Amino acid sequence: MLEQSVAAHPDFLDARRALAVVLGKSGRWEEALAQHSEAARLAPDDASVLNDFGCALLEAGRLEDAAEMLRLSVDLDHEHGEAWTNLAAVLNRLGRAVDAADGAKQAAALRPDHAGVLGVLSTVLASNGDYAGAEQAARRAVALSAEDSGAWIQLGNVLIDIGEVDAAAEAYGRAVELAPGNRVAAHNRLYALHLSATVGDEGLFEAIRRWGVGQSKPIMLSGWDRDPDRRLRIGYVSADFGQHPVGWFMAPVLPNHDPTEVEVVCYSHREVEDDLTRLLRNHCQNWVSVLGMDDRALAERIRADGIDLLIDLGGHTARNRLETFAMAPAPVQATWGGLIGTTGLPAMGWLIGDPQQVPPGAEGLYTECIVRLPNGYVCYGPPDYAPEVTPLPALRNGWQTFGCFNRLAKLSDETLVLWARVLEAVPESRLVLNTKELACPVLRERVAGRFAGLGIGADRLDLRPGGSHVEMLAAYGDVDVALDPMPYSGGLTTLEALWMGVPVVTLPGRRFCARHSLSHVTVLGYPEWVASDPDGYVRIVAGLAQHTGYLEELRAGMRARMAASPLCDGAAFTRDLEAAYREMWRQYCAT
């Protein structure tokens, strides 16, 4: 009806705007944007028309164009609070947090009691390192609109940032109650539960399994060529093809795939590309941006591309596409690389791990079948800008310095209790914590207060604000021994510490995310850095601290040893990965 109205009356502005909205909700973004463009042509001085156009561009994944259109809107009407809010949100997603803050503050001045505005303000303040302000804005949004699931989601996001993971899980849970179909709330809650030391492994598994049970909605597959030995089409799906753990794990893989065995398609949901994105794209035969595609459209595209094995690189992390995997658009599906554990999806047939990540007997914590790579579940491609390894800091300081560069959300109460014991066991030692959240003075005070409650004074803490990636790597020059947190172990962070010559001591748990460091140090050849209980953790760290000469020798040779190990052997790792793909495929062909 709307299409007929527009055809009959092409200058009917309201009909075009309504049609554009309907087309957008149907995922027909090119057609929707064409209608928005025509509406903007008809009313170039109408700020609301341009705001709608900007929002549609945002939903279609065209962030730069959206920012430009929304800027035009606020230039036309400086009092347009909705346009200021949307502009701030887009700029923040583009990584322009300082500019986003100006827009968010303008929006909040115009609409101080609007929960949606406060949610965007909270997001932007967090991106600028003002986590106290972000928490305040998020709590005010919830107070103003307690039935708004979006307000609860943002509160959960801030609580994760400041390390209150159980409170974050509760906030996300409230959002799920208010909006059971809200995928962001559901995934964020499951992610938070992985970080929680108060949620048991079986409880975590059951929560994920229950989510997965309601997600089965397969599309029909037929006519597949079940030749077990033919060349395979592999599809990788991720929002993290860039400077992110997934990007660094894929960097050694994509260049080493055997084109006679596999053809690779990368389905990228990444919004802002960087140098690593471009490197990855250069090593991929087929690169498909899936921004603006809904789950069914992506599933249909994957089906049309004839993908044999579809690989999830996100698990329950941000901007994942698990709902697409629930439709089973490929005959064989596996989760790997960016995962933090089981997906819970009946349609996800496989999880790719290794003997340390998923030891025999642990299969009950996974809904997937397990395939174990022989030399670690991921491979590390270190950045070429990594600084050189520096001499052991204990030699110049006269004391041992321990360190952890993981995010604040991983520093559970149990972790801090253990680290306090380490500091007590090694007199005069110091602890460096280095993460972006500690740029916030309020959070630094909170962390110092947590340690003070454990008898550790501020004079033994060095709380740092993170910085650029190269600055973070360089900061390992001040660390003698790295301490792994629990129950969520360091992954890329551990690999980076090792690359900078710093040994990592870990106490693994049973869940997948609790065993990353166990895998990495074992593959590197140092299983003696793995503790079996808290007493053993303290004993291992204290033992290393007593042998400065050994640490000096380790530091001098660690990078060369790691470079020659399976951890950094992209060619060998990719052969193992392709062998796993072939085995999964052959099992499918045999059914």
* Number of neighbouring beta carbons within 10 Å of residue 278: 11
DSSP secondary structure letter of residue 505? E
Query: Which tokens belong to 168?
Result: 């974050």
User: Which of the pair, 220 or 427, is modelled with greater confidence?
Assistant: 427
For 314, phi then psi, to 5°, come to -130, -35
Half-sphere exposure of 381 (CA within 13 A, CB side): 22
Region at 292 (left for phi over 0; alpha for psi -120 to 50; beta for the rest): left
Q: Is the pLDDT of residue 395 over 70?
A: yes
**307: helix, strand or coil:** coil
Region at 164 (left for phi over 0; alpha for psi -120 to 50; beta for the rest): beta
DSSP string, 151-191: HHHHHHHHHHHTT-HHHHHHHHHHHHHH-TT-HHHHHHHHH
Residues 6+ positions from 503 with CB-CB distance below 8 Å = 481, 482, 497, 521, 526, 529, 544, 551, 554, 558
Q: Please give the Cα distance from 582 to 237 (Å, whole number).
A: 19
* Cis amide leading into 487 (omega within 30): yes
Segment 555-565 mean pLDDT: 97
Region at 328 (left for phi over 0; alpha for psi -120 to 50; beta for the rest): left
User: Which of the pair, 131 or 19, is modelled with greater confidence?
Assistant: 131
Place of tokens 């001499």: 391
Segment 345-372 mean pLDDT: 96
Query: Which tokens belong to 262?
Result: 């596999």
Q: Is the pLDDT of residue 15 over 90?
A: no
**68: helix, strand or coil:** helix
Percent of the chain exceeding pLDDT 90 equals 90
Spatial CA neighbour of 51 closest among 18, 28, 84, 25: 84
Q: Is the pLDDT of residue 484 over 90?
A: yes
Cα 47–chain centre separation? 35
pLDDT at 20: 82
Q: 325 and 333 in contact (C-beta within 8 Å)?
A: yes
Q: 358 and 512 in contact (C-beta within 8 Å)?
A: yes
Spatial CA neighbour of 194 closest among 533, 520, 516: 516
pLDDT at 214: 85
Q: Cα dist. 222→303, 304, 372 in Å?
A: 10, 12, 29
**476: amino acid identity, one letter:** Y
What pTM was estimated for this model as a whole? 0.94
Q: What is the SS3 string spanning 553-577?
A: HHHHHHHHHHHCCHHHCHHHHHHHH
| Residues 489, 315, 169, 211, CA torsion sign | negative
Segment 392-409 mean pLDDT: 97
Spatial CA neighbour of 204 closest among 414, 488, 507: 488
- 220 confidence band (pLDDT: 50, 70, 90): low
Query: Which tokens belong to 14?
Result: 């309201």
User: Which of the pair, 224 or 227, is modelled with greater confidence?
Assistant: 227
* Mean pLDDT computed over every residue of the chain: 95
Q: Is the pLDDT of residue 219 over 80?
A: no
Q: 234 and 542 in contact (C-beta within 8 Å)?
A: no
Q: Please give the Cα distance from 222 to 401 (Å, whole number).
A: 60
Q: Cα dist. 88→82, 122, 422 in Å?
A: 10, 11, 44
Segment 59-81 mean pLDDT: 95
DSSP secondary structure letter of residue 67? H
Segment 397-409 mean pLDDT: 97
Q: Please give the Cα distance from 422 to 93 (Å, whole number).
A: 40
- 174 confidence band (pLDDT: 50, 70, 90): very high
pLDDT at 8: 65
3-state percent helix, strand, coil for the chain, nearest multiple of 5: 55, 10, 35
Q: Please give the Cα distance from 102 to 120 (Å, whole number).
A: 12
Spatial CA neighbour of 243 closest among 432, 562, 492: 492
Q: Cα dist. 415→131, 136, 244, 465, 489 in Å?
A: 22, 27, 24, 20, 11
Q: Please give the Cα distance from 334 to 323 (Å, whole number).
A: 14
For the stretch 146-161, pLDDT in tens is 999 999 999 999 999 9
Place of tokens 């409170």: 167
Of the listed ranges 318-322, 400-404, 517-521, the least confidently predicted one is 318-322
In order of their start, the domains of the chain are 2-179 (1.25.40.10), 232-379+571-589 (3.40.50.11380), 393-568 (3.40.50.2000)
* Number of neighbouring beta carbons within 10 Å of residue 167: 16
Q: Is the pLDDT of residue 217 over 80?
A: no
Q: Is the pLDDT of residue 292 over 80?
A: yes
